[in-house]
Amino acid sequence: MSDSATVSILDSYALLAYLGGEVGEGRVKEILHDASFGESRALMSLINLGEVAYITERERGLAKAQEVLAMVEQLPIKILPVDRQTVLAAAHVKANFPVAYADAFAIVAVQEHEGTLITGDPEFESVKDIVQIEWIR
């Protein structure tokens, strides 16, 4: 993979669309296909993975959430760890834009990895001037 390979940052909306066969699933599938062959990189903040877990557990139960997490482990998505610097950067984003705290971690990931946010969440409209976004809705 070259240094100029496409970097896609998935938020919870994108991963849930893929897992649930919802609008946007096809595009996420393409991104994961390319990542599996090293043609691009698919990244996700650990905080956004946690968001997928709690949404799945709330809507479909703990067993399904555990099943989903096991499935995600098999996907070519690099889960980005969260350290003090990342937390403080996300806090800065949250302080300055009307986004959910978890979404601020996706924004920071886009900035740090010079990637494109893959989402259908309309909340990200407020940051479209500071990060590159590909809408899948």
- Mean per-residue pLDDT over the chain, rounded: 96
Residue 54 within any structural domain of the chain: yes
Q: Is the pLDDT of residue 16 over 70?
A: yes
Helix axes 46-60, 62-73, angle to 10 degrees: 140
Examine residue 20 and state whether it is found in any structural domain, yes or no: yes
How many domains, the chain? 1
How does strand 132-135 pair with strand 77-80? unpaired
Could you list the residue range(s) of the whole structural domain that residue 37 is in? 6-135
Find the farthest-apart pair of alpha carbons in the chain and give their distance in angstroms, rounded.
41
Would you call 98 exposed, middle or buried from its count of C-beta atoms within 10 A (0-12, 13-18, 19+)?
exposed
Task: Say how many Å lie between the first and final Cα of the chain, rounded.
Answer: 29
Residue-wise pLDDT for 80-134, tens only, equals: 999 999 999 999 999 999 999 999 999 999 999 999 999 999 999 999 999 999 9
Task: Note the pLDDT of residue 1.
Answer: 47
Here the CATH number for the domain that contains residue 68 is 3.40.50.1010
The predicted pLDDT at position 3 comes to: 52
Which pLDDT value is given to residue 7?
98
| pLDDT recorded at residue 4 | 62
Determine, yes or no, domain membership for 1. Answer: no
**pLDDT at site 126:** 96
What's the pTM value of the predicted model, to 2 decimals? 0.94
* Closest residue by Cα to residue 137 from 16, 9, 7, 8: 16
Overall average pLDDT of the 20-32 stretch: 96
63 belongs to a structural domain: yes
Q: What is the pLDDT of residues 1-12, one digit of tens each?
A: 445 679 999 999
